[in-house]
Structure 1
């Protein structure tokens, strides 16, 4: 009998990430892949047991549904569809209700669809992935793991906006995102630092999306993303935090439509907007263009400001962690941020920073500075394994395509 497998899906508007784990104590990763550039020229890359097994341009395949269908065919042709016992879905928004990995029954899906208005550019794509996976794997457990769930430990004061109570009661709150990444880092800190998980820690998730999270003993205390994924420092193409008056100005004085403002803030701002060149940090770091340099300066400055704010929420700082694509690989960005945080007791070791070491702070630094690669997929896989271990029967209602 072939071993049970867990299929992990992270379906978004611009990319589809997937992984296959073998169910078991250690959850060995058997396959990891991604289809990038869904809105342009989709490209599949996949590795099985670390060996490259696919590098294919799918230029004629457009949209999430078509990419998912083709991905499922590819998985089937390669034999990876066999033995799938559970499909785990990254779902961006779980609201205040969903705080644990949850089987996706009809009732649960209806509640998650109702949250789509709170994450209109993410939740619908996540749920389309559920619908198609349900059709493809009708006998498998379909379950969701939620990006917002990790921040459920935050105090109410960290969640509230100074708005009328009726809006708060309707769910206009700071939820926080990138929770799967922070959950992984918190676990890695516990494994390395002990039960206090590095004490008062700030984790910098610096990728295409950017957020920071303050952890006390491995639990979320505050984070820079709030009601949406637009808040916080500038990102690749997202604006980051803005004076709300800017949005009012765009709507009224500039007479932009809501759709045009949405596109501007999500897709044409951030590093791309500031530089006029690219939202890709590698490109900007390699450019001599003054606007590219300024975009990096603004990015670093705003991140350092957020570190100061989160340190205030923690009452001090013991550990600073860099993670995600930029955080794990851009040594210059780490150095610039650390320099601006010298007042907090951060002292970077330049040689360790350049060498790829995990600990990059000097021995005399008052703050331990670490680089820890994140792994959101394995967090989902762990949630699926836990559900399978406790599953006694089918969900409360049949799962159907939504």
Structure 2
């Protein structure tokens, strides 16, 4: 009997997984992750009911995503779950302009998604490698992709295009936006809380090692801080965030950096790590008394505060502010600093509620309701699989020129 959905969510240093029953409410059977693939990897899993959690070291050496997947498969086999899986849902970071709903990952779809890899070099290859691994292991299961870019596809044209020649825009050099599965889950939670209005004019701050923000009106994306790539917007753990294009020209023309060196610099050596010179991990920076750590934190908060103002302008005001993801959910000091910086908009954070991890952390007289809502990308993927058909890819609806995919 195939009555379960397996969700796989791979990143550069982790693999998250979850198994849900394929019925209304999506009861959770098992959830977990393998963290720190680059050294001392650990598997952590929690099952439904009263079964004890699993915490297991996987050695001291780095492991690749294939080895991580093998460990997940072993756990699913031990729990007698493999035979129950009829569909596998995959979080795919980049869907371009043509993948805007849950889609069957057949050969043509996979070929099209592979051509998007240069636009999401950290994630896309890993996402598609996991699809291949799952298809080999579970040939009877339907492999379905859900896309981080899809949530932002309904934004108005003016929120997507850049001030470049129209031929380039039509070739696909536009703002796509990311973290859409996280935002989709938060929008669903806001609808549960407020009804169809979903908190009215809301800004959601997805603050983790990758960080972005999204302005929503009645739960629909209006504007977001990430654009053509996952480098844009906020300063992140090791990614630079928004950068003057003239800096790129300087690095290429005057510093003579190669394209590969530039990719490494902007994706892996910048952000909180680059500014602090210490770490890209916010927990480490908060615990440090080094002045450069303090400066990195201050820059992180400053850039978020600036974007809150920009997104509020796109919305025409602000009713609700939501914090989510690793930093957003677990760093009350950062939330408090952001609240102070956004005080001019009517944001008021209650110190004690914030420190005690309440869902509503705003003051009773705050004009803006401030919430902390855990993200759940795996449940967002499962919800898309349960609530909608999964069509085969129909081919490109837009022109995607080859030069777009190599820029």
User: Residues 395 and 321 (structure 1 numbering): CA distance in 2 closer, same or farther, change over 3 Å?
Assistant: closer
Shift of 1:3: 6.1
User: Residues 384 and 51 (structure 1 numbering): CA distance in 2 closer, same or farther, change over 3 Å?
Assistant: farther
Map 1:3-402 to 2 at 5 A: 4-49=3-48, 51-60=52-61, 62-387=63-388, 390=389
Contact 1:47 1:54 in 2 (8 A): no
Shift of 1:362: 1.3
2:83 partner SS:
coil
Structure 1 gaps of 5+ residues are: 398-402
**Separation in 1 of the partners of 2:344 and 2:350?**
16
1:132 partner SS:
helix
The aligned length equals 392
**Separation in 1 of the partners of 2:61 and 2:363?**
51
Contact 2:94 2:148 in 1 (8 A): yes
**Separation in 2 of the partners of 1:59 and 1:68?**
17
**Separation in 2 of the partners of 1:374 and 1:357?**
15
Tell me which moved more, 194-203 or 344-353: 344-353
Which stretches of structure 1, 4 residues or more, deviate above 4 A after TM superposition? 394-397
Shift of 1:27: 0.9
Shift of 1:396: 8.6
Contact 2:223 2:314 in 1 (8 A): yes
User: Residues 200 and 395 (structure 1 numbering): CA distance in 2 closer, same or farther, change over 3 Å?
Assistant: closer
**Separation in 2 of the partners of 1:262 and 1:359?**
39
Q: Report Cα offsets for 1:131-168 as digits up to 9, x if no partner.
A: 11111000101100000000011000000111112221
Q: Report Cα offsets for 1:344-388 as digits up to 9, x if no partner.
A: 11111112111211111112111111111111100111122235x
Structure 2 gaps of 5+ residues are: 395-407
Shift of 1:69: 3.0
**Separation in 1 of the partners of 2:98 and 2:123?**
18
**Separation in 1 of the partners of 2:54 and 2:363?**
41
**Separation in 2 of the partners of 1:377 and 1:45?**
15
TM-score, with structure 1 as normaliser: 0.93
Contact 2:39 2:61 in 1 (8 A): no
1:120 partner SS:
coil
1:151 partner SS:
helix
**Separation in 2 of the partners of 1:303 and 1:173?**
22
What's 1:400 paired with?
none
2:280 partner SS:
coil
Tell me which moved more, 58-67 or 94-103: 58-67
**Separation in 2 of the partners of 1:164 and 1:36?**
43
User: Residues 6 and 272 (structure 1 numbering): CA distance in 2 closer, same or farther, change over 3 Å?
Assistant: same
Q: Report Cα offsets for 1:20-70 as digits up to 9, x if no partner.
A: 111111211111121222233432222222731242224456322233234
